Amino acid sequence: MFLRESDMAPSVTRWMTRAGLHVKREFVTPWGICDLAGVSFNTEHAAHRMHLRQKKSVASITRAVLLLEIPDAEEDKSVSIARLVSRFAATVGEELVAAEIERLIDDGFVLRTSRGRLQKMNGWMPLQDRLVAVELKLSRIAEALKQARANMGFAEESYVAFPMPVALRIAREPSSWSSYFDDGIGLIGVLRQRCEVLIAPVSSSRRHDPAIQLYCVEKFWRTQQSLIQSDSRRGLRTLQDGKMIGVQD
Protein backbone atom coordinates (compact mmCIF):
# COMPACT_ATOMS: atom_id res chain seq x y z
CA MET A 1 0.00 0.00 0.00
CA PHE A 2 2.76 2.43 1.01
CA LEU A 3 6.48 1.94 0.39
CA ARG A 4 7.69 4.80 2.59
CA GLU A 5 6.29 6.68 5.56
CA SER A 6 6.49 9.88 3.52
CA ASP A 7 4.03 8.33 1.03
CA MET A 8 1.37 8.58 3.75
CA ALA A 9 1.91 12.30 4.26
CA PRO A 10 -0.28 13.60 1.38
CA SER A 11 -3.35 11.69 2.57
CA VAL A 12 -2.91 12.73 6.22
CA THR A 13 -2.14 16.32 5.21
CA ARG A 14 -5.40 16.47 3.23
CA TRP A 15 -7.28 15.11 6.23
CA MET A 16 -5.76 17.77 8.49
CA THR A 17 -6.33 20.58 6.01
CA ARG A 18 -9.99 19.63 5.57
CA ALA A 19 -10.32 19.89 9.35
CA GLY A 20 -9.24 23.54 9.11
CA LEU A 21 -5.63 23.06 10.18
CA HIS A 22 -2.58 24.80 8.74
CA VAL A 23 -0.01 22.03 8.39
CA LYS A 24 3.78 21.89 8.60
CA ARG A 25 5.78 18.81 7.66
CA GLU A 26 8.87 17.71 9.61
CA PHE A 27 8.00 20.10 12.41
CA VAL A 28 11.00 20.72 14.65
CA THR A 29 10.38 20.36 18.39
CA PRO A 30 12.85 20.69 21.29
CA TRP A 31 13.22 16.89 21.37
CA GLY A 32 13.14 15.96 17.69
CA ILE A 33 11.04 16.15 14.55
CA CYS A 34 7.29 15.56 14.38
CA ASP A 35 6.19 14.27 10.98
CA LEU A 36 3.13 16.54 10.73
CA ALA A 37 1.90 19.34 12.96
CA GLY A 38 -1.17 21.49 12.42
CA VAL A 39 -2.77 24.50 14.05
CA SER A 40 -6.04 26.36 13.73
CA PHE A 41 -5.92 29.91 15.04
CA ASN A 42 -8.61 31.40 17.25
CA THR A 43 -9.60 34.23 14.92
CA GLU A 44 -10.78 36.57 17.70
CA HIS A 45 -7.58 36.11 19.67
CA ALA A 46 -5.50 36.57 16.52
CA ALA A 47 -7.39 39.77 15.72
CA HIS A 48 -6.71 41.11 19.21
CA ARG A 49 -3.02 40.33 18.87
CA MET A 50 -2.89 42.13 15.54
CA HIS A 51 -4.66 45.07 17.19
CA LEU A 52 -1.84 45.14 19.74
CA ARG A 53 0.59 45.16 16.76
CA GLN A 54 2.32 42.04 18.02
CA LYS A 55 3.14 40.79 14.54
CA LYS A 56 6.50 39.27 15.40
CA SER A 57 6.75 35.81 16.91
CA VAL A 58 8.08 34.72 20.28
CA ALA A 59 10.96 32.93 18.64
CA SER A 60 12.80 31.33 21.57
CA ILE A 61 11.75 29.01 24.37
CA THR A 62 13.45 31.26 26.93
CA ARG A 63 11.40 34.20 25.71
CA ALA A 64 8.23 32.11 25.90
CA VAL A 65 9.00 31.05 29.47
CA LEU A 66 9.63 34.64 30.54
CA LEU A 67 6.51 35.95 28.82
CA LEU A 68 4.34 33.44 30.66
CA GLU A 69 5.88 34.49 33.99
CA ILE A 70 5.04 38.17 33.51
CA PRO A 71 1.59 39.19 34.83
CA ASP A 72 -1.05 40.56 32.47
CA ALA A 73 -1.46 44.33 32.48
CA GLU A 74 -5.23 43.77 32.71
CA GLU A 75 -4.72 42.19 36.13
CA ASP A 76 -2.98 45.33 37.40
CA LYS A 77 -0.04 43.25 38.59
CA SER A 78 3.64 43.44 37.68
CA VAL A 79 7.00 41.81 38.30
CA SER A 80 10.55 43.11 38.54
CA ILE A 81 13.42 41.98 36.33
CA ALA A 82 15.32 41.11 39.51
CA ARG A 83 12.54 38.73 40.48
CA LEU A 84 12.70 37.01 37.09
CA VAL A 85 16.49 36.75 37.26
CA SER A 86 16.20 35.13 40.68
CA ARG A 87 13.41 32.82 39.50
CA PHE A 88 15.51 31.38 36.66
CA ALA A 89 19.00 31.74 38.14
CA ALA A 90 19.60 27.98 38.09
CA THR A 91 19.03 27.65 34.34
CA VAL A 92 19.30 31.05 32.65
CA GLY A 93 21.97 33.70 33.15
CA GLU A 94 21.14 37.27 34.14
CA GLU A 95 22.42 38.71 30.85
CA LEU A 96 20.21 36.41 28.78
CA VAL A 97 17.15 37.18 30.90
CA ALA A 98 17.75 40.92 30.47
CA ALA A 99 18.31 40.56 26.71
CA GLU A 100 15.19 38.47 26.19
CA ILE A 101 13.09 40.89 28.25
CA GLU A 102 14.31 43.79 26.11
CA ARG A 103 13.34 41.85 22.99
CA LEU A 104 9.85 41.25 24.40
CA ILE A 105 9.54 44.98 25.11
CA ASP A 106 10.79 45.93 21.64
CA ASP A 107 8.31 43.53 20.02
CA GLY A 108 5.39 44.97 21.97
CA PHE A 109 4.65 42.00 24.23
CA VAL A 110 5.77 43.62 27.48
CA LEU A 111 5.46 47.08 29.01
CA ARG A 112 7.88 48.61 31.48
CA THR A 113 6.05 50.72 34.06
CA SER A 114 7.25 54.05 35.41
CA ARG A 115 8.71 52.12 38.34
CA GLY A 116 10.63 49.81 36.02
CA ARG A 117 8.39 46.82 36.58
CA LEU A 118 7.06 44.57 33.84
CA GLN A 119 3.56 43.80 32.57
CA LYS A 120 2.40 41.63 29.68
CA MET A 121 0.13 42.93 26.92
CA ASN A 122 -2.13 39.93 26.53
CA GLY A 123 -5.78 39.10 25.96
CA TRP A 124 -4.96 36.69 23.10
CA MET A 125 -3.65 33.58 24.86
CA PRO A 126 -4.13 30.88 23.79
CA LEU A 127 -3.67 31.87 20.17
CA GLN A 128 -4.87 28.51 18.86
CA ASP A 129 -8.13 26.59 18.90
CA ARG A 130 -6.40 23.32 18.05
CA LEU A 131 -2.81 22.10 17.96
CA VAL A 132 -2.36 18.64 16.44
CA ALA A 133 0.65 16.32 16.03
CA VAL A 134 0.80 13.19 13.86
CA GLU A 135 3.56 10.57 13.71
CA LEU A 136 3.66 8.47 10.53
CA LYS A 137 4.90 4.89 10.65
CA LEU A 138 4.56 1.86 8.38
CA SER A 139 4.90 -0.76 11.12
CA ARG A 140 7.13 0.27 14.07
CA ILE A 141 4.29 0.58 16.54
CA ALA A 142 6.19 1.07 19.80
CA GLU A 143 8.49 3.69 18.29
CA ALA A 144 5.56 5.66 16.89
CA LEU A 145 3.68 5.58 20.19
CA LYS A 146 6.73 6.78 22.12
CA GLN A 147 7.14 9.69 19.72
CA ALA A 148 3.44 10.51 19.94
CA ARG A 149 3.66 10.53 23.73
CA ALA A 150 6.57 12.98 23.53
CA ASN A 151 4.51 15.18 21.20
CA MET A 152 1.90 15.54 23.93
CA GLY A 153 4.39 17.98 25.44
CA PHE A 154 3.21 20.56 22.92
CA ALA A 155 0.16 19.21 21.08
CA GLU A 156 -3.38 19.15 22.39
CA GLU A 157 -4.14 16.18 20.13
CA SER A 158 -1.42 13.63 19.41
CA TYR A 159 -1.91 10.81 16.89
CA VAL A 160 -0.07 7.87 15.41
CA ALA A 161 -0.92 7.08 11.78
CA PHE A 162 -0.38 3.70 10.13
CA PRO A 163 -1.48 2.11 6.86
CA MET A 164 -5.08 1.01 7.33
CA PRO A 165 -4.40 -2.75 7.68
CA VAL A 166 -1.85 -2.12 10.45
CA ALA A 167 -4.07 0.44 12.16
CA LEU A 168 -7.08 -1.91 12.10
CA ARG A 169 -5.00 -4.67 13.68
CA ILE A 170 -3.95 -2.30 16.48
CA ALA A 171 -7.52 -1.07 16.98
CA ARG A 172 -8.83 -4.63 17.28
CA GLU A 173 -6.20 -5.53 19.90
CA PRO A 174 -5.32 -2.26 21.66
CA SER A 175 -4.52 -3.87 25.01
CA SER A 176 -0.87 -4.40 24.09
CA TRP A 177 -0.52 -0.62 23.80
CA SER A 178 -3.09 0.41 26.40
CA SER A 179 -0.66 2.53 28.43
CA TYR A 180 -0.24 4.82 25.42
CA PHE A 181 -3.87 4.99 24.37
CA ASP A 182 -4.93 5.48 28.01
CA ASP A 183 -2.65 8.52 28.02
CA GLY A 184 -4.81 9.99 25.25
CA ILE A 185 -2.94 9.16 22.04
CA GLY A 186 -5.16 8.80 18.97
CA LEU A 187 -4.89 6.27 16.14
CA ILE A 188 -5.39 7.01 12.43
CA GLY A 189 -5.76 4.47 9.63
CA VAL A 190 -4.42 5.76 6.32
CA LEU A 191 -5.50 4.94 2.78
CA ARG A 192 -4.36 6.62 -0.43
CA GLN A 193 -7.39 8.87 -0.66
CA ARG A 194 -8.66 9.14 2.89
CA CYS A 195 -7.94 8.71 6.59
CA GLU A 196 -10.06 7.42 9.44
CA VAL A 197 -9.68 8.02 13.18
CA LEU A 198 -9.93 4.58 14.79
CA ILE A 199 -9.10 5.67 18.34
CA ALA A 200 -9.92 9.25 19.30
CA PRO A 201 -7.29 11.27 21.17
CA VAL A 202 -7.92 12.70 24.61
CA SER A 203 -6.39 16.06 25.44
CA SER A 204 -4.81 16.51 28.85
CA SER A 205 -3.39 19.88 29.86
CA ARG A 206 -1.31 18.11 32.51
CA ARG A 207 1.00 16.82 29.78
CA HIS A 208 1.48 20.13 27.99
CA ASP A 209 4.45 22.33 28.73
CA PRO A 210 2.86 25.80 28.37
CA ALA A 211 6.08 27.49 27.24
CA ILE A 212 6.90 24.83 24.65
CA GLN A 213 3.33 24.89 23.39
CA LEU A 214 3.47 28.67 23.03
CA TYR A 215 6.83 28.43 21.26
CA CYS A 216 5.47 25.82 18.83
CA VAL A 217 2.36 27.85 18.02
CA GLU A 218 4.61 30.86 17.40
CA LYS A 219 6.34 28.89 14.63
CA PHE A 220 3.04 29.03 12.77
CA TRP A 221 2.50 32.70 13.65
CA ARG A 222 5.72 33.57 11.81
CA THR A 223 3.88 32.78 8.60
CA GLN A 224 0.51 34.09 9.77
CA GLN A 225 0.03 36.47 6.85
CA SER A 226 -0.03 33.62 4.34
CA LEU A 227 -2.19 31.55 6.69
CA ILE A 228 -4.66 34.41 7.03
CA GLN A 229 -4.87 34.68 3.26
CA SER A 230 -5.48 30.93 3.10
CA ASP A 231 -8.33 31.32 5.59
CA SER A 232 -9.90 34.05 3.48
CA ARG A 233 -9.82 31.86 0.36
CA ARG A 234 -11.72 29.16 2.25
CA GLY A 235 -14.43 31.67 3.14
CA LEU A 236 -13.45 32.13 6.77
CA ARG A 237 -12.65 35.39 8.48
CA THR A 238 -9.43 37.28 7.99
CA LEU A 239 -7.55 40.13 9.61
CA GLN A 240 -6.81 43.53 8.25
CA ASP A 241 -5.17 46.40 10.12
CA GLY A 242 -5.80 44.62 13.39
CA LYS A 243 -9.55 44.23 12.83
CA MET A 244 -11.66 41.22 11.93
CA ILE A 245 -13.53 41.53 8.64
CA GLY A 246 -15.94 39.18 6.91
CA VAL A 247 -15.02 37.45 3.69
CA GLN A 248 -17.66 37.41 1.01
CA ASP A 249 -18.25 34.35 -1.15
Query: For 217-231, how does the pLDDT look when each residue is reduced to its tens digit (9 = 90+)?
Result: 999 998 875 555 455
Q: What is the mean pLDDT of residues 118-125?
A: 96
Q: Is pLDDT of 233 > 70?
A: no
Alpha helices, H only, the chain: 9-18, 43-51, 61-69, 81-87, 94-106, 141-151, 164-172, 178-182, 210-221, 224-233
* Average pLDDT across the chain, whole number: 89
Q: Structure pTM?
A: 0.85
Q: Is pLDDT of 249 > 80?
A: no
φ, ψ at 30 (rounded to 5°) = -60, -20
Instruction: Tell me the Cα Rg of the chain.
Output: 20
pLDDT band at 210 (very low <50, low <70, confident <90, very high): very high
* Count of CB atoms situated within 10 Å of the CB of 49: 25
Q: Is pLDDT of 237 > 60?
A: no
Domains in the chain, CATH or no CATH each:
1-52+128-249 (no CATH), 57-123 (1.10.10.10)
**Given this model, what pLDDT does residue 116 score?**
92
The Cα 44–Cα 115 span in angstroms is 32
Among 116-125, 167-176, 177-186, 206-215, the least confident range: 206-215
pLDDT band at 152 (very low <50, low <70, confident <90, very high): very high
Q: Is pLDDT of 18 > 50?
A: yes
Tell me how far the alpha carbon of residue 159 is from its chain's centroid: 14
Query: For 161-178, how does the pLDDT look when each residue is reduced to its tens digit (9 = 90+)?
Result: 999 999 999 999 999 999
pLDDT band at 15 (very low <50, low <70, confident <90, very high): very high
Q: What is the mean pLDDT of residues 37-66?
A: 95
pLDDT band at 234 (very low <50, low <70, confident <90, very high): low
DSSP string covering 14-70, please?
Answer: HHHHHTT-EEEEEEEETTEEEEEEEEEE-HHHHHHHHHTT--S---SHHHHHHHHHS
Q: Is pLDDT of 199 > 60?
A: yes
**Given this model, what pLDDT does residue 1 score?**
80
**Given this model, what pLDDT does residue 208 score?**
82
pLDDT band at 205 (very low <50, low <70, confident <90, very high): low
Query: For 67-99, how does the pLDDT look when each residue is reduced to its tens digit (9 = 90+)?
Result: 999 999 999 899 999 999 999 999 999 999 999
Check if the beta carbon of residue 118 is closer than 8 Å to that of residue 112: yes
